[in-house]
Amino acid sequence: MRPVLVLLVSTAWTMTAAQYYYQGLMDYLENRLLAIEDRMQLWHDQSHRYHTELQDFKKLTAEAVDGLSSEHGSLFKDLEGAAVRVDRVEREMDYVEAQTSPRACARQAEKVVEQGSGGWSRAEGRRRRGDDWEELHSRVSDCVEIISGIRSVKILKRVGGPKGMWTRDPRSSRVYVFNGTSGDVIYRFNSVQDFSRSPGLAGGTEIRLPFAWSGPGSAVHNGYLYYVMQEADTDLQVVRYDLMSGAVTDIAMFPVDSRASVYSLNPETVADLAADDEGLWLLFATSDSEPNINLAKMDPATLDIEQIWDTRCPRENAEAAFVVCGTVYVVYNTRLVSRSRIQCVFDVNDMVISEEAPLLYFPRRYGV
C-alpha cells in the first residue's frame, strides 16, 4: 500500500500548486485590467477636459477674430482718411513750394554781371551791363517761370500699359504718346484736351515709324521727333524724324554700352533726349560701370555732337532728369515709394550748382 499512498500525495500536491499558479495568474490579469481601466478613465477625463478647453479656446478665438475684424475695418477707414489727408498735405506742400521762387536761377544775373564786368571801362561797362542786364533779366525770368511752373503730379489720363511716356511739342499743342518701353508706333492727339477726353489710344492718330524706338527717352521739338534706336549688341543711334513729311532726315551713331541705362531706377531708359532753346541734349552712360550721368549737346538739325560733359551726378537712385536753359536737373528717389526730389544740378555754363537746386518734390504714388 505504500506506493499507492505516495502517488496520491504527489498528485494532490501537484493539483494544489497548479491552483496557486492559476490563481496568481488570474489575480495578476485582474490587477492589469483594473490598471488599464483606471488609465482609460484618466484618459477619458483628460480628453473631456481638453475638449472643454478647446471649446473655450475656439470661443475666445472667435471673439478675438470678430474684434480684429471690427478693428481692421476701423483701421482701414482711418488709413483711408490718413491717405486723403497726406494727399492734401502733399498738394499744399507742392503749392507752397511752387510759390517759392526756385534758387537755381535767382542768382544767375549777379554771377553773369560779376563775370562780365572785368576789363571794361566804367562807362562802357555800365552801358554793356545795362544792355546785358535787360537780355539776361529776360532770359533768367524765362528760366524762373519755366521751373516755377512745375506743379504736383496730376493724373491726366490712364491709358496704355503700365510703362511708357507722353510729351508735347512746345511749339504746338499736339500731344504724342509712346505706349510701352519700345515699339514702332506712336499716337498723336491734337491737344491735351483731346488726349484727356479720348476713350483710349484708338482716339489718336497712329504714326508708324520706319525704325523702332527704344526706351522712354524721346523728345518732340519744332515738328521733329528725336528718339533712340538700339538693337541688341549694337551702338546707340539717335533718329531725327520729320513728323510733317513722315521721313527720317538724319541718324547719328553714339558709341555706348548697349547694357547701360542712364537712370538706375528706370533701367528701360538707355538714353534720355531733351530739347530747349539752347539745343538738343542727350543724357547717357558710356558703360554699366560708369558711375555718373554724361551729357552731350547735339545740333538739332544735323545731330552732330558739339560737346560732352561729365555731370558728376550719380546714376545710382536716379529716377529722371530734365533740362531747362542749359541746366540739367536730376531727380532722385529710393526703390520704395516715396517723394522724389532734385538732388543734383549741372549747368554747362557753371552758373548753377547743386547747392542751389530748386526745392521741387514729385510724389511717386505708384511703383513705376
What gap in Å lies between CA 136 and CA 109, rounded to an integer? Answer: 6
- Rounded Cα distance, 175 and 137, in Å: 31
For residues 309 and 278, is the Cβ–Cβ distance under 8 A? no
pLDDT recorded at residue 277? 81
pLDDT digits (tens, 9 = 90+) for 332-349: 887 776 778 888 899 888
Q: Quick: pLDDT tens for 70-83.
A: 888 888 888 888 87
| Residue 107 pLDDT class (50, 70, 90 cuts) | very low
12 or 217: which carries more pLDDT confidence? 217
Share of the chain above pLDDT 70, in %: 73
The answer to whether residue 111 scores a pLDDT higher than 50 is no
Mean pLDDT (the chain, rounded): 79
Confidence of residue 108 (pLDDT cuts 50, 70, 90): very low
Q: Is the pLDDT of residue 209 over 90?
A: yes
On the question of pLDDT at 140 being above 80, the answer is no
Q: What is the pLDDT of residues 287-333, one digit of tens each?
A: 888 899 999 999 999 999 999 999 999 999 999 999 988 889 999 88
Res 113: pLDDT: 38
Out of 10-19, 90-99, 280-289, least confident range = 90-99
Q: Over 50: is that where the pLDDT of 102 sits?
A: no
Q: Would you state the pLDDT for residue 334?
A: 76
Please report where in the chains the cell 475695418 appears, as a residue. Answer: 73
Are the C-beta atoms of 216 and 186 separated by less than 8 Å?
A: no
For helices 122-148 and 108-116, give the axis angle rounded to 10 degrees.
160
335 CB-near residues (< 8 Å, 6+ apart): 265, 317
Q: What is the pLDDT of residue 225?
A: 95
Q: What is the mean pLDDT of residues 211-225?
A: 91
Give residue 233's pLDDT band: very low, low, confident or very high (50, 70, 90): low
To which H or E segment does residue 347 belong?
Answer: strand 339-347
Structure-block grid coordinates of residue 168 = 508735347
Phi/psi at 67 (5° precision): -65, -40
pLDDT grade for 283, boundaries at 50, 70 and 90: very high
Does the pLDDT at position 191 exceed 50?
yes
Over residues 149-160, the mean pLDDT reads 73
Q: For residues 208 and 44, give the distance between their C-alpha atoms in angstroms, rounded to a whole number.
A: 82
- pLDDT for res 14: 67
Identify the pLDDT of residue 365.
59
